[in-house]
Structure 1
């Protein structure tokens, strides 16, 4: 081969990828010409240019080489989509055309056999969908056809997709019974069929599926679990005796009323028992005649008051006035509550005993109660067991140190109560509760306010709080140790406040490994070691939890339930499918899609299996703070 021939061949090979990219612009331009655009433009789509050059709006490419996704939302698209045009994009995996004005029957997307995400929410598509429409779309993982005008039965073929993970058909006019879910599908995580005209019994293959988030509300003729509507309660036939029907109806009403009253009695008794249990906290060694005083830090006492209390402590014979905690072997039998932060005012144990109490829940370190005191102050009292590693004096020193912490994203305790058997830590109550509740709870108004800017604010606030803790407790193996969404509280303005930090020195090793979330990091399961990088892992889990909206299975002791967010994210990032991770409730912010993807990549870096591959907390926070809207 001559040098000239070799040079020509080399030039041809070097231009092949570019020519391939340009060739993919042709079907996209045909798609553009087939639709009408009423709320924007696609001027960045230009004939003869490379769709993967990063300038084509809404076009995503796999490894920058071939078109893998079309995300064109909120442009008021209307007209007819010619699927044949898109069929000329061999590596197309995602079609996202939600929040447009597309109408008519569902275009034949079944011709796109390699499609994995079909997202057409909030359009005006109508008519019936053929029962076998999805038969040849075996790669589909996400189907969002919600809030259109589809009628007829739900196509059975969509329930036969073995790899289907999310199916949203809510807000249409689907009727008839729900098709059976194939036994081969073990990955379905989200199913929303609410607000249709469905009827009959919900298939047991769906109702009994564990780890499946499902919604069937708004279907008047639907019955079975999880709606708690019996399917055998059918209307009486015309030939039946009206008196017989009326008698049975009265009997059923009385029966349900009795059950309701019994349940109310059980719940009331349970609440009283738990409230009584709360009121007895600290009373094991404290009778009605014993005095209980509030111990203030020396720094906030007036000199005269300090002298007077010191004198009283030296001369008093009352059991509860031993302010310095030397009252008995092992430090048990203390009857005082010790203030470490007086910003919300001072209070004593009698104030807590008289407060209206409400059980908030049980965590890995103990139980939590909400108490509303007579002066209107609402606090959370955490009853912590198995915190016996430190002596009483060392415990005092650590809690006094906690009380001096000041950062807008760190919850500073107000007071504590020490007993050998258990400790009480008192902090301010946050009305919006925890990030865990707002993300995965009743999905009410608080959840609806979790917009993209709010989620970014929460993530950045948590990151700043963690950097502060890593500076304050730099000598600790785990400056936090228990960072998870249940330990991130939210203020009225959704400012996050981190709680339950720096508890590792208080716990015996066996208790720490069971109670602290940082011990779920890969390095502990592999090498029985933890470090500040384990906190970075926990921050990554929270970041990904907020961005995906999924409940991490890592929070569960048995690992059963939720989403294995580590495996899911790492797999998606390796395949450059980060956009598929984004919670659909915020993914419509197409202008910020690249910022969301960058944030997901930061989270993925935080959960690297090898801690040496993770950046430290300061470096991670710096990257997170660079994300600006």
Structure 2
């Protein structure tokens, strides 16, 4: 956009909001930037450039090639001045807006104009005054952070909130929290019982939110379809993102197969990651990571090696459905760090031929020798099932192994359920959730047939290892590692080893997979993030104990995710599935169903 065009745009904005109807997303963002002060950190936002293709700072776009903006993360940028919310109403697919840790002042801007917004973070600014009681009346927000501002009073009465009132909010007195039967703590003179909540996870309305110093335990206090989640600080949600391997820390890998040099920069200001091939890494200010680097795709001679005795310095392709490629192709690829798990790090690499893959880098995976490892990984490479993610290639070194699989754009089930991926309530309805659970069961049935000689055919079943295709068909990953990793690695990194029998007496059997399946079922039905996933045990919800209390009180319907509980004609089916999930997570293994029986009972449930 030319200088004259930009001036005309500003004139248009000053005269009539109607002119916004024809504004592009780039123009809307430029007008948004213009309304703020100290916007030097947004120098990459330039006229005649594209927010998505040119990687504007803090702008995140969809991953399916549509080139639309879905998130603005403008934290810790020293921004101040006026926030012209009206300009970004033109970004129709905007799901997340983060302006935390800046220096904005005055009344809370009309963020409620952004009708499609799912997450709003404005903590650690200097907003003040009152928030109107109907501010969130028409909102579909699921997450909001307002802490560390200068609001002047607090009224959370007349809602259906749950959990313990934090000590920092006790000063507001009992009247601020009245008519919330699920709350406990000093102000309401009700003792809190650890691990058990008395209220359901239901719709919330905020009356007035003013004078909040720290809002930690009572998160997501919103209206209409807004729920109380169990996260207890913004950093805790960061932990969830790392577990899910979906919140991208952008990184670009430079160099060739010999040097493996890389540069990294976290969007949140930290460094991380490194080269896909295990080369050196260094911090830099590079932020442009997801555009494809141009160059010739490596030939079969320079790339993959198909033979069993291929050199240890290259990739061994075991599934050629995405063509042949080698380590050099990965080293030339643009890459992103997806996350660090107990078994290793995960990277997304976009190769020059346009194929996107995930590279899992696993250290000290030396339970098997090279030939045995080759035999096991090739066995898995022959798997073909719509609910199974089959590896494409591997790289073997004693110090580390690389396992390459196809990248699934929609992301993990964990992040679809708990993160911000722009998933609408209508999409994640009861039939879709049942379809996901049935697909998981179908994938497990296949694994149990193909790996019948394994004590743990999967071993690491959890929502972060279940990816969703474009039509919400679940795809299981991270299976079949049971024989490849040491007992110590398995205990540290595989979720089946968190089952009660494994923790208490180091017993391992297929009932561990049944336990994992039960956790996933309870997570999908309640919408709660399971505390069982976190090594610290802090955060999330103990879904096993929580659902067990629901069954004991015969209040199962109250413990379902409100987004599906409204489907009243399916409550009986949901309750049956909830009870199955509880049965799969029984402490005593002989009280759990077998995997065969659990799958059969899932197949019998109709949407």
Bin the TM-score by the shorter chain.
0.5 to 0.7
Determine the C-alpha separation between the residues in 2 that align with 1:604 and 1:194: 27
Determine the C-alpha separation between the residues in 2 that align with 1:463 and 1:269: 37
Going from structure 1 to structure 2, the CA distance change for 1:282 and 1:466 (only over 3 Å counts) comes to: farther
1:296 aligned to 2:293? no
Correspondences of 1:614-629 after superposition (within 5 Å) = 614-629=592-607
Query: Which residue of the other structure, out of 207, 216, 220, is the alignment partner of 1:214?
Result: 220
Query: Any conservation in 1 of the 2:162–2:198 contact (CA below 8 Å)?
Result: no
Query: Any conservation in 1 of the 2:202–2:562 contact (CA below 8 Å)?
Result: no
CA RMSD of aligned residues (A): 3.8
Going from structure 1 to structure 2, the CA distance change for 1:603 and 1:404 (only over 3 Å counts) comes to: same
Determine the C-alpha separation between the residues in 2 that align with 1:572 and 1:464: 28
Q: What is the aligned partner in structure 2 of residue 405 from structure 1?
A: 383
Query: Which residue of the other structure, out of 312, 320, 325, is the alignment partner of 1:342?
Result: 320
- Answer 1 or 2: which has greater helix percent: 1
User: TM-score normalized by structure 2?
Assistant: 0.58
Query: Which residue of the other structure, out of 585, 593, 598, is the alignment partner of 2:571?
Result: 593
Query: Which residue of the other structure, out of 261, 273, 281, is the alignment partner of 2:278?
Result: 281
Query: Any conservation in 1 of the 2:525–2:560 contact (CA below 8 Å)?
Result: yes
Query: Any conservation in 2 of the 1:292–1:335 contact (CA below 8 Å)?
Result: no
Query: Any conservation in 2 of the 1:164–1:185 contact (CA below 8 Å)?
Result: no
Query: Any conservation in 2 of the 1:463–1:621 contact (CA below 8 Å)?
Result: yes
Deviation at 1:580, TM superposition (A): 1.8
Q: What is the aligned partner in structure 1 of residue 478 from structure 2?
A: 500
Correspondences of 1:506-525 after superposition (within 5 Å) = 506-525=484-503
Deviation at 1:165, TM superposition (A): 5.6
Q: What is the aligned partner in structure 2 of residue 603 from structure 1?
A: 581
Deviations 1:447-495 (A, max 9, x none): 6521111000000000111111111111111111000000000000000
Deviation at 1:293, TM superposition (A): 3.5
Q: What is the aligned partner in structure 2 of residue 24 from structure 1?
A: none
Q: What is the aligned partner in structure 1 of residue 210 from structure 2?
A: 200
Determine the C-alpha separation between the residues in 1 that align with 2:157 and 2:535: 41
Q: What is the aligned partner in structure 1 of residue 462 from structure 2?
A: 484
Deviations 1:266-320 (A, max 9, x none): 647978x646x22452699xxxxxx8541226xxxxxxxxxxxxxxxxxxxxxxx
Larger radius of gyration: 1
Determine the C-alpha separation between the residues in 2 that align with 1:227 and 1:500: 28
SS in 2 for 1:489: strand
Deviation at 1:180, TM superposition (A): 6.9
Going from structure 1 to structure 2, the CA distance change for 1:226 and 1:366 (only over 3 Å counts) comes to: closer
User: TM-score normalized by structure 1?
Assistant: 0.56
Deviation at 1:599, TM superposition (A): 0.7
Q: What is the aligned partner in structure 2 of residue 379 from structure 1?
A: 357
Query: Any conservation in 1 of the 2:304–2:315 contact (CA below 8 Å)?
Result: yes
Determine the C-alpha separation between the residues in 1 that align with 2:399 and 2:233: 42
Query: Any conservation in 1 of the 2:461–2:496 contact (CA below 8 Å)?
Result: yes
Determine the C-alpha separation between the residues in 2 that align with 1:387 and 1:560: 29
Correspondences of 1:48-197 after superposition (within 5 Å) = 157=175, 159=177, 164=182, 184-185=191-192, 187=197
Query: Any conservation in 1 of the 2:203–2:562 contact (CA below 8 Å)?
Result: no
Determine the C-alpha separation between the residues in 1 that align with 2:444 and 2:492: 22
Q: What is the aligned partner in structure 2 of residue 390 from structure 1?
A: 368
Deviation at 1:199, TM superposition (A): 4.7
Query: Which residue of the other structure, out of 449, 453, 456, is the alignment partner of 2:427?
Result: 449
Moved more, 565-574 or 156-165: 156-165
Deviation at 1:194, TM superposition (A): 8.1
Question: Larger RCO: Structure 1 or Structure 2 (Cα < 8 Å, ≥ 6 residues apart)?
Answer: 2
Deviations 1:368-407 (A, max 9, x none): 1111111111111111113111000011001101110011
1:569 aligned to 2:579? no
Determine the C-alpha separation between the residues in 1 that align with 2:424 and 2:346: 22
Deviations 1:405-458 (A, max 9, x none): 011111101111111111111111111100000001016226652111100000
Query: Any conservation in 2 of the 1:191–1:214 contact (CA below 8 Å)?
Result: no
Q: What is the aligned partner in structure 2 of residue 222 from structure 1?
A: none
Query: Any conservation in 2 of the 1:438–1:447 contact (CA below 8 Å)?
Result: no
Going from structure 1 to structure 2, the CA distance change for 1:509 and 1:196 (only over 3 Å counts) comes to: closer
Query: Which residue of the other structure, out of 334, 337, 356, is the alignment partner of 2:334?
Result: 356
SS in 2 for 1:201: coil
Q: What is the aligned partner in structure 2 of residue 475 from structure 1?
A: 453
Query: Any conservation in 1 of the 2:157–2:178 contact (CA below 8 Å)?
Result: no
Q: Which runs of 5+ in 1 are unaligned?
A: 1-120, 123-130, 144-153, 167-178, 219-224, 229-264, 285-290, 298-322, 328-333
Query: Any conservation in 1 of the 2:156–2:206 contact (CA below 8 Å)?
Result: no
Query: Which residue of the other structure, out of 422, 437, 452, is the alignment partner of 2:415?
Result: 437
Query: Any conservation in 2 of the 1:358–1:369 contact (CA below 8 Å)?
Result: yes
Going from structure 1 to structure 2, the CA distance change for 1:216 and 1:386 (only over 3 Å counts) comes to: farther
Deviation at 1:602, TM superposition (A): 1.0
Query: Any conservation in 1 of the 2:440–2:474 contact (CA below 8 Å)?
Result: yes
SS in 1 for 2:389: coil
Determine the C-alpha separation between the residues in 2 that align with 1:183 and 1:617: 42
Determine the C-alpha separation between the residues in 2 that align with 1:618 and 1:590: 29
